[in-house]
Amino acid sequence: MKITYKASINLTKTSILLLYLRIFTRVKWFRWGCIFVMTCVAMFCVATITATIFQCSPIEKAFNQTITGHCINNGHFWYANASFNISTDLIILIIPMPLIYGLQIPRVQKAGLAIVFALGIFVIITSCLRTTTINTQARTTDKTFDIASTMWTIIEMNVAIICACLPQIRPLLVKLFPKLTQAYRSSRERDNGIGKDRVIL
């Protein structure tokens, strides 16, 4: 579960950054910023997965506490991991906003794009809620009973994947909410100076 969580969260961040690179292809500073953040995420992912695998010496002690040996302080490790995740989530959330604001597109579409990208705030909220349960999970002697941290871990992974997929579901949203499409077309016509008597189909 611990390894799956770290791989899932960091791969989701990488997929979002790759989407940014695909959308904003001509802004040099933005591309370099995304590549830098993506590199940090990849390195952190490898480091945390490695630390998780070798958190105890011998490795078996992570699963069997009766074995003689020692382990790292999981509480400190999990707090460090949560801090990095929340920080990078904030960066990924904020970095495209100046470019979206400067796009020469209708206001309705611009607002829609900003809202879609801003939905990443839900990932940050779930990360913060998960952080409040770390201390209990680190100190518990019965990890099968104190599952609050595990529950929020699963929620965080799923919310992150959903948010990463949202920009790709525009055709579905158009089909489910046709009035939004009509509003977008009306806004585009006003911005382009098209006559008001045109019928929106």
Q: What is the mean pLDDT of residues 20-35?
A: 88
pTM of the model: 0.76
**65 CB contacts (<8 Å, ≥6 apart)?**
none
**Residue 14 to residue 44: CA distance in whole angstroms:** 12
**122 CB contacts (<8 Å, ≥6 apart)?**
159, 163
Percent of the chain with pLDDT over 70: 82
Q: pLDDT digits over 102-128, tens only?
A: 777 777 777 777 777 777 888 888 888
**Residue 100 to residue 192: CA distance in whole angstroms:** 19
Phi, psi of 70 (to 5 degrees): -145, 155
Q: pLDDT digits over 77-99, tens only?
A: 889 999 999 999 999 988 988 88
pLDDT band at 131 (very low <50, low <70, confident <90, very high): confident
